[in-house]
């Protein structure tokens, strides 16, 4: 989920805005201590930029400065542990997709359960996207399936963490079609893209904002999206369902508190973040970053999508041989 090169100017602008955002409150105060948004990922990616848009625009409504903290250690578990161990006062919150709070919790020995995380804002739904180098023999979903069927185990597919949002859809497609690919875990979207551009691997999976500049420049071809509908960022790229493969696995991006945070504080945080993101400035930043913040939803939507995603991931994990 590495930020496209074309968006570095936006990243710098958002960093400057959020760095000193200790502003007066126009709503209920959560206290004077800064609020920390912890991400279990490296800095500079799509999630990081979204968190900084929140920091730059919600601080005045939350009544205190908002800082963004990147904690990718231990596969993201360091960040979750930090939030779980923090004082339950709403000043340390989490922003993550399902691979951190759901998949790793279901597949690893963690001191918390999936139900211990309390989603408070449903920001957007990431659409996992498969792409190749522009001069690769594969230039469509059908090209990929046909080549994989003809030469099982010959195509190398790069993706970030195993069982993450850029890996589980591939597993589902292989289950449906019977194709076999060589899975190559990478450190993230940046390394995957570098390996694609260098011709070292055949296919990769990432999120549309991470490759839109490469698609527009003609360096890579996005061949398919694992979602119910096409991406607004890459509107010419078909879904796998359009190609006849019933695989869709969008990844909700959520803001969480740990479950020990009192309900009234959860509600205050939800409301002040949503108010900030509804501003014209936040919406303009979101559009420039292709962050998909046009339809941010509150606690009810966040909880519903979290529960539905948990059941979906639980079913997929149960179907796998992880021993």
Instruction: Write down the H helix ranges in 151-203.
Output: 168-177, 189-197
Tell which wins on pLDDT, 139 or 209: 139
d(CA 130, CA 158): 10
Residues 227-242, mean pLDDT to the nearest whole number? 96
Residue ranges, CATH 3.40.190.150, the chain: 5-126+251-318
* Predicted confidence (pLDDT) at residue 140 exceeds the cutoff of 80: yes
- Which DSSP helix (H) or strand (E) runs through 300? helix 299-318
Q: Report the SS3 class of residue 121.
A: strand
pLDDT band at 323 (very low <50, low <70, confident <90, very high): low
Instruction: Scan for tokens 């010419």, then name that residue.
Output: 236
| Strand pairing class (156-159; 182-185) | parallel
Residues 135-143, mean pLDDT to the nearest whole number? 98
pLDDT tens digits, one per residue of 168-180: 999 999 999 999 9
pLDDT tens digits, one per residue of 72-123: 888 789 999 999 999 999 999 999 999 999 999 999 999 999 999 999 999 9
List the single range of 2-6, 142-146, 151-155, 285-289 with lowest mean pLDDT: 2-6
Domain 5-126+251-318: CATH architecture, name and number where available = 3-Layer(aba) Sandwich (3.40)
**Cβ neighbour number for residue 42 with a 10 Å cutoff:** 17
Residues 34-49, mean pLDDT to the nearest whole number? 88
Neighbouring C-alpha atoms within 13 Å toward the C-beta of 13: 13
* Predicted confidence (pLDDT) at residue 19 exceeds the cutoff of 70: no
d(CA 288, CA 189): 19
Residues 126-141, mean pLDDT to the nearest whole number? 97
Residues 124-140, mean pLDDT to the nearest whole number? 97
Q: Report the SS3 class of residue 172.
A: helix
CATH (one of 3.40.50.720, 3.40.190.10, 3.40.190.170, 3.40.50.920) for 129-225: 3.40.190.10
pTM of the model as a whole: 0.83
* Predicted confidence (pLDDT) at residue 308 exceeds the cutoff of 80: yes
| Strand pairing class (156-159; 203-206) | parallel
pLDDT band at 30 (very low <50, low <70, confident <90, very high): confident
d(CA 66, CA 191): 30
Residue ranges, CATH 3.40.190.10, the chain: 129-225
Burial class (CB in 10 A: 0-12, 13-18, 19+), 275: middle
| Strand pairing class (35-39; 92-96) | parallel
Q: Decide: 252 and 125 in contact? Cβ < 8 Å.
A: yes
Q: Decide: 276 and 57 in contact? Cβ < 8 Å.
A: yes
d(CA 73, CA 88): 22
Instruction: Scan for tokens 């999120």, then name that residue.
Output: 207
Q: Report the SS3 class of residue 119.
A: strand
Query: In this predicted structure, what is the pLDDT of residue 160?
Result: 82
Query: In this predicted structure, what is the pLDDT of residue 294?
Result: 95
pLDDT tens digits, one per residue of 152-209: 999 999 988 888 899 999 999 999 999 999 999 887 788 899 999 999 999 999 989 8
Query: In this predicted structure, what is the pLDDT of residue 322?
Result: 63
Residues 7-18, mean pLDDT to the nearest whole number? 50
């Amino acid at each position: 989920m590495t930020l496209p090169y074309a968006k570095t100017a936006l990243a710098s602008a958002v960093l400057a805005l959020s760095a000193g955002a200790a502003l007066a409150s126009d709503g209920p105060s959560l206290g004077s201590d800064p609020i920390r948004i912890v991400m279990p990922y490296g800095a500079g990616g799509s999630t990081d930029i979204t968190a900084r848009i929140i920091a730059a625009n919600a601080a005045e409504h939350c009544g205190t400065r908002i800082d963004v903290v990147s904690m990718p250690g231990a596969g993201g578990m360091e960040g979750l542990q930090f939030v779980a161990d923090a004082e339950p006062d709403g000043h340390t919150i989490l922003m993550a997709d399902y691979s951190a709070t759901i998949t790793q919790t279901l597949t690893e020995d963690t001191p918390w359960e999936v139900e211990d995380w309390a989603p408070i804002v449903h920001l957007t739904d990431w659409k996992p996207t498969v792409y190749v180098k522009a001069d690769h023999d594969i230039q469509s979903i059908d090209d990929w399936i046909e080549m994989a069927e003809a030469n099982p185990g010959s195509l190398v597919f790069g993706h970030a963490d195993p069982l993450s949002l850029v890996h589980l859809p591939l597993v589902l497609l292989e289950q449906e079609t019977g194709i076999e690919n060589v899975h190559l875990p990478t450190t993230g979207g940046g390394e995957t893209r570098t390996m694609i551009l260098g011709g070292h691997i055949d296919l990769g999976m990432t999120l549309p904002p991470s490759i839109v500049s490469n698609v527009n420049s003609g360096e890579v071809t996005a061949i398919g999206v694992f979602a119910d509908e096409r991406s607004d960022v890459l509107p010419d790229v078909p879904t796998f369902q359009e190609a006849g493969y019933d695989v869709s696995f969008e990844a909700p991006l959520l803001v969480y508190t740990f479950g020990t945070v009192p309900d009234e504080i959860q509600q205050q945080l939800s409301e002040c973040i949503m108010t900030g993101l509804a501003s014209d400035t936040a919406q303009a930043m979101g559009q420039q970053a292709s962050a998909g913040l046009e339809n941010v939803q509150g606690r009810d939507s966040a909880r519903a999508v979290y529960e539905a995603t948990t059941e979906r991931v639980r079913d997929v994990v149960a179907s796998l041989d992880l021993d």
